[in-house]
Amino acid sequence: MIELKDITKRFADGQRALTVLDSLSLHVDEGEFIAITGESGAGKTTLLNILGTLLAADEGQYFIRGEKVEVSGETGAERLCHLRNKEIGFVYQDHRLLPQFTVLQNILLPTLATKKTSTEEEQKRASSLLEFMGILPLMDSPVTQLSGGEQTRVAICRALINQPAILLADEPTGQLDAANTQTIATLFQQVNTQFHTTIIMATHSAEMAKVAQKTYLLKEGKLRIEEPLARRSQLKN
Amino acid sequence: MKNQEMKSLIAQSRKHYRRFYRLVTIAVILMMAVLTGSLLLGDSVRGTLVQRVSERLGKTETIITSGTGFMNETLLQHPSMKHSQGYLLMDGFVSVGEMLLPVYVWGIDTDSLAADEVMVNEPLYAKLSTLDSQLSTFVLHLPSLNLIPSGSLFVSKSHATQMRVHVAGVKSLEDGGNLLLKNEQTLPLNVFINRRQLAEKMELEGKINLILSDDFIEEEQLAACWTPEHSGIHLTDSILTYDGVFIPQDIVEKLSTLNSHPSTIYLSYFVNNLKADADTVPYSFVTAINEWQGEPLEGQDMILSDYAAERLHVREGDSIRMDYFITKQLKNLDTREKTLRVKQIVPLAAFREDSLLMTDFPGLTRVENCTDWDSDLPIDMNRVQKEDEDYWHIYRQTPKAVVSYEAVRADWSNAFGSATALRFSSSDSSSHSSLLTSFLSPSDADVRMYHPRAQGLKGANGGVDFASLFLSLGFFIILSAILLMKNPLVEMFTLRQDEIQLYRQLGFRDKAIRNGLFREAFSVMLLASPWGVVAGLLYSCLTLWLLGNVWSGATHTDGFALHIQPLTLIIGIVVGLVICAFTLWMVVRNALKPCTSHSSSPKPHTSLVTPLISLLITIVLIAANFLYFHDMVLFIVCGLLWILTGGLFLRVEVNRQATTSIRSILNRTQLMWLSVRSSLKQHLLAYWTLSLGVFTVFAVGLNRPDFSQAVQATGGYQFYVDSRVPIQYDLNNPAVRKKLSLNALPDSTRFLCFLRHTQDEASCLNLNQVSTPTVLGVDLKEMEPFGLITDANPNPNPNPNPNSQPSTLNSKLSTIYIDEEALMWSLMKSVGDTLFYQNERGDEVPVVIAGTYPTGIFHGNAIMSSEDFRRLWPKESGVEVLLMKSSCPDEAAELLAIAMNEYGLHIQTVEERIKMFFEVTETYLIIFLTLGGLGLLLGIFSLMVIVRKNLAARTATIRQYRAMGFSERLIAQLLFRENLLVPFYAVCVGAVGSAISISANVGGAGLNTLLLAFIVLVAIGLILYYGIQYMIQQTINKQQTI
C-alpha cells in the first residue's frame, strides 16, 4: 500500500542543515495499523506530513499502491489535492476543528474540496460515522462546546468522511486523559478492522501503541521496528 | 529589575516585534504630519495675511480721507504731518485691447514721472505682460472727479476721462507698490502717476483726497492742524463759500446755532420758467435767500428784477408761477411749480451788487452762449430767444429773481448741501474765521482718520482659520492613521497573549504588565513623533504650494509663505502624542482583558423586520424629497439612512444565511457566510468604516449646489454689471437711453440698479475677518425674486425664508439683509445681530441684520433699502452695480459695453459670477475630496491590516483545508470571497448612499467630477480586490513553505 524508499528530509538550522529523516524506508500493507513512536523532535510529524503529501522529501521516493507520489509541479499539485482528499485522512493532536462551524459542518467540510455542495449521501455517511463514534446527538453543536474526547472523535469522523484508504494520526490523544485515550484507541482499532483503513499513527502513548499491529521507533532519522508491547511482556514473563 | 535591564528588555521586544512597530511608526508619522501640518498651515496663512497688512500699508499708521470732497495740500505743511504724504486716489481702469482692468490710480508726489508717464506695481505689470508682452503704453481711464460732486444736479461730466500713458517703471513691493487700503489678501492693481499732472488733468490743482502718515496721529492732533480752509471752506469778508459749491447742510445747521450765526443764507438754482399769465421767461437763475436787505424774506415772497418784471408784465403784489426740475433718485427729473408773490421789484443792478446771488456752476455759467449750456437738464434750446442770449451776454448768471429760502429749501437742497453761500452779519472776518475753526471739526467737512494697521492685523488674525479647516479636511487621514496605528498593535498584543499569561503566572500584576507593554509601544511613538513633525513641515509646504498654484481658486492669492511658530509645533507634538497614548492605552487595556467565552455570544438577529422598515422609510423619504421637498439636507439624511439599512441587512443576512445552513446540505457559499458570521463584529466594523468613509468623501465632495439653475441666485437676470465710474442715471429711462446712445437696446431690456457703499469684501474670496460688508442699496421689493423677504412685502412668498425676520425690529434703525453663507462664515453673525457702519457724518450707526437671502450673485454684500441707504450715505448717489435682462442678452450686453465704455463696465453673466464664488467652494471640495480620498486609501490600507490579521488567525484553517485536499486555488477562492464580501458591499452601499445624497444637486458637480469620482470608486474596488488577493496568496505561500 505505502512504500517509502530512502527518504531524507533536512531543515535549515541557522547556518547548518539538520537532517530529520535520514534515508528512511517504510513499507505498510493495505489495512495495516502501525504506530510510530519516538522522542519529541525525532521527526514523527515530519514523516506524517511527507506521508500526507503536505511536505516534499529532499531525497528518496514515495509510492502509494505502487504509484510514485510527486509533490512538486502544478499538475502534480492538483493530483496531490485529489489524493489527500480521497485517499488520505488526517487526525491531529489539536483536532483543528474550525470553530465557526458545527460538528456536522466540520465533518462535511472535506466533501467540498472537489465540488460545490455536499450530497445527501455524504450527510447520511456523516451521521453514520457520528453514530459509530457515539456522538450523534452532538451533530448540530458548535465544536467549541465539545470536550477534548468528543473533538477527537469529530476529527476522526471528518478524516473518514471521504472513506480514505489511509488514515494518518499525529498524536491523536496527546491532550486526552487515560480513559478517553483508551476509548479513542478502541475506536481506531474498530476503524481499522471495520473499514479496513490503513492507519499510521504517531504517538507517545503506550496505550495507543498497544492497539497497533506494528510499532516503529523513529530515532536519528531512521525507523526501527519494535516488538509489539504485548509480545514483549509475554517474552519477559 | 534594574531600570537599565528593563530598558534593554523593552528594546529587545521592540526589535522582535519590529514588523508591527514599523506600521505603527508609519501611522504615527502620518497622523503627526497631518496634525502638525494643519496647525502650521493655520500659522502660515495667518502669518502671510499679517505680512500682507505690512506690505499693503507700508509704514502707514494713519489714514486721513476726505470723503467725496478734497483737502488742500497745505494741510501737509503742518508739523504734525511731517511724515505724511498726500495722494489723489481714484478708482480707474486700464484698457488693453478689449480688456478692461480695474485699477487704483495713485497721484503721488514724485519728480521721476514726467507727463503721461506712470509706474505700475508688479501684479499689474504681470497682468499687462500676459495680455501683451511688448506693452509699454496703455489707455488709463479716470473717473470724473470734480470739486462739485458728480451726483449733484448741474454737473454733466459724470463719466471718465482718459489718457494714454507710458509705463516708466515698475514699483516694487518694497517700494510700496502694493499699497491698498482695503482689508483683503488679494494683490491690488496699482497705477502711480505724478499727482500734480493728475490734478491738472482733473482740474484739482493743489487738492488731495488722501493722506497716509507714518506717524500715529491722534484725533486731537488732526483737529489742531486742520482748518476749514483745508477742506475748501472759505471765509472771506464774512462770506462763507465752499469749493464744492453746495455747503453741506450739517455745516449750515451747525453754524445757525452760533450766537453770531450767518445772517443770510444763499441757495442758487436754475429754474425752467418764470410765468405770469401769458408771459414766460425761460431758463433763468434764481437765488433763494432768507432775508433781503435786512428784511426777512418769508412765505411766498419774491423779489423780482425789473428786467424780469418788464418781460413778464407784472407789478408788485402780482403772482408769478415758477417751475423747475427737482431730482429724484439717479437724476430722474420731476418738475415742480411754485406760485410766488412779487413783494418788490428791484433794479437788476441791485442783484448784481451782491456777488453771492450768483453761483458758478461749471457747464452752465462758464459758457459764452445759452446754447452752450452743458448740464444734465433737458434744456430745450428752441425756447431760448434772442433776448435771453442778450441777457446772458451782459449779465450771465445774475438771477432774475430772488425767492424766499424757506419756500424752496426742501426742493433745491441736495445730498451735498443746502446753501451756496453764507453771509455773517458782522464784518469782523477774523473773529468769524477763528470761531469757525474752533466750531467746525474735520468730520464736519467729511475729513476722517483711522489707524489701519490695528484693523488690518485684527482682520488678518481673525481671518479664515486654515488650521481648523485643514484639520477638518484631513480628518479622514488622521482617523485612518489612528486605525492604522491601532490595528497592528491589536494584532501584536493578540499574538502576545501567551506572553501576557506568562507574566501573570510569574506573579506580575496586570498594572505592571500594562505599564511595561505601554512603555514599550509608546517609546516607538515617541521616537516617531519628531519624524512626524518633519513630515508635517513637508505636508504644510506642499499644501501651501498647492494653495498658491493648483488650489489657488480657494484663496485667490499667489501663495503663502511658511511661518513656523515653535508653540504650534509643541502643540502638534503634544496633541499627537496624547492621541497615540490614548489609542495605545485602550489597546493595551483590551489586551489584558480576560477572553470571553465563544458560546456566550448573544442570539443572532435573523429577523428582516427592522431592515425592511428602515428600507421602507428610506424609500418613502427619498420619493417624498424628490416629489415635494427637494431639500439637500434631507437627501443627505436619506443617504445615511440607506447606509444604516445596508448595515442592518448585512447583519441579518449573515446571521440568516449562517443559521439556515446548519441543517441543510453544506456548500461553499455557506462556508463563506459561516466564516463571515464567526467574525461578524469585525466585518460590521469594516462595513461601517468603509461605507461611511465612501459616503462622507463622495457625498461632501460631490454635493455642489447648482446655483446657475437656481432662480433665487440670479433673480432671473442675465448679466451682472460692475461700473468703475458711478452711473448717475436710470438706464430704464428712455430719455437716458437716448442720451447715452443706448436707444438701440431692445425694449425688453430691464436694469436693476444698486447704490453701493464700499466696505469689506465679505464673500468667500476674502480670507480676512470682516466686520462690515459692502452695502447695496435698492428698492427691497425688487429683491423678491432673489428670495429676500421682508414683512413689507404684500405678497409673501409661499416658501418664505425661515431666517427672515420683520424689518421693523426697530423702526428707527436701519436694517440690512445678508446672504446666508456670508452671514454664517464671513461675519459669523446671525439674524437680529447689529453691525455698526459709519455714516457720512462720521457717526457709528447701528444697522440690524433683519434677514437673509439665498446665496447667489450678491454673495458677500449686504442689501439695504434705498431709503435707509440714502439716509446713511446720501452723497453716494451713483449706481455702481447693475443687473440686466433682455430678450437679446448678448446683443444688449455688447451694446452696453460699447455705449458706456468710458464707465469701465465689467459685464459678466450671472453664471460667470456665481462660478467665481463657487470656484472657492469647489476648490475646498476638491481639497476635501483629495485629502478624503487619501484618508480613504489609508483606511483601506488599515483594513488590509485587519484582513492580514484575520488571515494570520486562519493559519490552522488553511492547514486543515490543505490536509483535507482543498487545492490552493480553492483555499484562496474561499478566503477571498469571505474577506472581500463585506468591503465590496460597503463600498457599493456607500457609493449608492452618496449618490442619493447628491440627488438634489446632481448637475452641480459636473460630468468631469462625477467621472473622476467614478474612477476613484473603481480604483478603490481594484485596490481592495488586488490587495486582498495579494495578501491571501502571501498567506497561502507562507503556509506552503512551513
Which pLDDT value is given to residue A130?
93
Which pLDDT value is given to residue B838?
86
Q: Scanning every residue of chain B, which has its alpha carbon at the shortest distance from the alpha carbon of A143?
A: B599
Is 0.80 topped by the overall pTM? Answer: no
Q: Does B964 touch chain A (CB under 8 A)?
A: yes
A64 assigned to some structural domain: no
B686 assigned to some structural domain: yes
Q: Do A84 and B965 make contact, defined as CB atoms within 8 angstroms?
A: yes
B102 assigned to some structural domain: yes
A137 assigned to some structural domain: yes
* Residue A189: CATH number of its domain: 3.40.50.300
Mean per-residue pLDDT of chain B: 84
One domain, residues B420 and B493: no
**Closest CB from A101, A113, A140 relative to B674:** A101
> Is 90 exceeded by the pLDDT of residue B525?
yes
Residues B203-212 have a mean pLDDT of: 90
The string of pLDDT tens digits covering residues B451-468 is 999 888 888 888 778 888
Distance from C-alpha of B441 to C-alpha of B439, rounded to nearest angstrom: 7
Place of cell 495499523: A33
**Closest CB from A117, A142, A144 relative to B665:** A117
A123 assigned to some structural domain: yes
**Closest CB from A78, A85, A118 relative to B964:** A85
State how beta strands A2-13 and A16-28 pair. antiparallel
Listed residues B879, B911, B943: the one ending a domain: B911
Query: Which of A26-40, B807-821, B923-937 is the least confident region?
Result: B807-821
**Closest CB from B665, B677, B959 relative to A123:** B665
Which pLDDT value is given to residue A209?
86
One domain, residues B907 and B771: yes
Q: Which helix (H) or strand (E) holds B448?
A: strand B448-450
Percent of chain A exceeding pLDDT 90 equals 38
B812 assigned to some structural domain: yes
Minimal C-alpha gap between A38 and chain B (Å) = 22
Distance from C-alpha of B474 to C-alpha of B490, rounded to nearest angstrom: 24
Residues B23-28 have a mean pLDDT of: 93
Which pLDDT value is given to residue A232?
52
Residues A217-224 have a mean pLDDT of: 90
Minimal C-alpha gap between B5 and chain A (Å) = 27
User: Domain span at residue B648?
Assistant: 608-710+912-1042
Q: Do A101 and B966 make contact, defined as CB atoms within 8 angstroms?
A: no
Minimal C-alpha gap between A210 and chain B (Å) = 27
> Is 80 exceeded by the pLDDT of residue B428?
no
One domain, residues B493 and B508: yes
Q: Is B183 helix (H, G, I), strand (E, B) or coil?
A: coil
The string of pLDDT tens digits covering residues B956-968 is 788 888 888 888 8
Q: Do B666 and A100 make contact, defined as CB atoms within 8 angstroms?
A: no
The string of pLDDT tens digits covering residues B372-403 is 887 777 888 888 888 888 998 888 889 999 99
Which pLDDT value is given to residue B801?
44
B452 assigned to some structural domain: no
- The band of B710, judged by pLDDT with boundaries at 50, 70 and 90, is low
Percent of chain B exceeding pLDDT 90 equals 24
> Is 80 exceeded by the pLDDT of residue B1?
no
B17 assigned to some structural domain: yes
Q: Do B965 and A113 make contact, defined as CB atoms within 8 angstroms?
A: yes
B87 assigned to some structural domain: yes
**Closest CB from B598, B956, B966 relative to A81:** B966
Could you tell me where the beta strands, DSSP code E, fall in chain A? 2-13, 16-28, 33-37, 59-64, 67-68, 88-92, 166-170, 198-202, 214-219, 222-226
A113 assigned to some structural domain: yes
Q: Do A140 and B668 make contact, defined as CB atoms within 8 angstroms?
A: no
Which pLDDT value is given to residue B156?
62
A19 assigned to some structural domain: no
One domain, residues B777 and B864: yes
Q: Do A100 and B962 make contact, defined as CB atoms within 8 angstroms?
A: no
User: Domain span at residue A176?
Assistant: 30-59+71-212+229-236
Minimal C-alpha gap between A31 and chain B (Å) = 21
Which pLDDT value is given to residue B943?
82
Which pLDDT value is given to residue B634?
86
State how beta strands A198-202 and A33-37 pair. parallel
Question: Who has greater pLDDT, B14 or B24?
Answer: B24
One domain, residues B293 and B200: no
One domain, residues B143 and B219: yes
Q: Does A98 touch chain B (CB under 8 A)?
A: yes
Beta-carbon contacts below 8 Å between A and B: 88
One domain, residues B924 and B876: no
Q: Scanning every residue of chain B, which has its alpha carbon at the shortest distance from the alpha carbon of A88?
A: B964
One domain, residues B493 and B526: yes
Distance from C-alpha of B455 to C-alpha of B184, rounded to nearest angstrom: 12
Q: Does B1 touch chain A (CB under 8 A)?
A: no
Which pLDDT value is given to residue B792?
47
Residues B804-831 have a mean pLDDT of: 73
One domain, residues B668 and B767: no
Residues A51-59 have a mean pLDDT of: 87
Grid cell at residue B934: 487619501
Q: Which residues of A touch B956 (CB under 8 A)?
A: 94, 96
A18 assigned to some structural domain: no
- The band of B37, judged by pLDDT with boundaries at 50, 70 and 90, is very high
- Complete DSSP assignment for B312-372: HT--TT-EEEEEEEEE-GGG-EEEEEEEEEEEEEE-HHHHHH-GGG----TTTTS-SSGGG
- The band of B473, judged by pLDDT with boundaries at 50, 70 and 90, is confident
Which residues, at least 6 apart from B984, have a Cβ–Cβ distance to it below 8 Å?
B1021, B1024, B1025
One domain, residues B77 and B200: yes
Q: Does A121 touch chain B (CB under 8 A)?
A: no
Report the number of distinct structural domains present in chain B.
Answer: 5
Percent of chain B exceeding pLDDT 70 equals 91
Listed residues B871, B890, B911: the one ending a domain: B911
State how beta strands A222-226 and B421-424 pair. unpaired
Could you tell me where the beta strands, DSSP code E, fall in B172-219? 190-194, 207-208, 210-213
Residue B648 dihedral angles phi and psi, to the nearest 5°: -65, -40
Q: Which residues of A touch B962 (CB under 8 A)?
A: 54, 84
Which pLDDT value is given to residue B174?
87
B603 assigned to some structural domain: no
Q: Which residues of B touch A140 (CB under 8 A)?
A: 662-663
A8 assigned to some structural domain: no
- The band of B159, judged by pLDDT with boundaries at 50, 70 and 90, is low
Residues A116-145 have a mean pLDDT of: 89
CA atoms within 13 A on the CB side of B776: 26
The string of pLDDT tens digits covering residues A76-86 is 777 888 888 88
Q: Which residues of A touch B966 (CB under 8 A)?
A: 81, 85, 112-113
Which pLDDT value is given to residue A15?
66
Q: Scanning every residue of chain B, which has its alpha carbon at the shortest distance from the alpha carbon of A105?
A: B666
Which pLDDT value is given to residue B488?
86
One domain, residues B907 and B764: yes
Q: Does B665 touch chain A (CB under 8 A)?
A: yes
Q: What order do you get walking across the sheet with B844-853 strand by strand?
A: B834-838, B844-853, B814-819, B861-865, B774-778, B750-757, B879-885, B719-727, B905-909
- The band of A97, judged by pLDDT with boundaries at 50, 70 and 90, is confident
The string of pLDDT tens digits covering residues B986-1014 is 999 999 998 888 877 666 667 777 787 88
Q: Does A106 touch chain B (CB under 8 A)?
A: no
Q: Which residues of A touch B675 (CB under 8 A)?
A: 100
Report the number of distinct structural domains present in chain A.
Answer: 1
Q: Does A49 touch chain B (CB under 8 A)?
A: no
The string of pLDDT tens digits covering residues B39-59 is 999 999 889 888 888 888 988
Any idea what the Cα angle at residue A205 is, between residues A202 and A206, rounded to 5°? 115
Distance from C-alpha of A153 to C-alpha of B653, rounded to nearest angstrom: 32
Which pLDDT value is given to residue A138?
92
Which residues, at least 6 apart from B333, have a Cβ–Cβ distance to it below 8 Å?
B325, B326, B327, B377, B378
Query: Which of B204-208, B307-311, B471-475 is the least confident region?
Result: B471-475
Q: Scanning every residue of chain B, which has its alpha carbon at the shortest distance from the alpha carbon of A114?
A: B966
Listed residues B595, B629, B650: the one ending a domain: B595
Q: Does B114 touch chain A (CB under 8 A)?
A: no
The string of pLDDT tens digits covering residues B63-117 is 999 888 899 999 999 888 888 999 999 888 888 877 788 899 999 998 888 888 9
A184 assigned to some structural domain: yes
Amino acid at B173: L
> Is 70 exceeded by the pLDDT of residue B6?
no
One domain, residues B286 and B384: yes
- The band of B201, judged by pLDDT with boundaries at 50, 70 and 90, is confident
Q: Scanning every residue of chain B, which has its alpha carbon at the shortest distance from the alpha carbon of A71?
A: B1040
Any idea what the Cα angle at residue B634 is, between residues B633 and B639, rounded to 5°? 95
Q: Scanning every residue of chain A, which has its alpha carbon at the shortest distance from the alpha carbon of B959?
A: A96
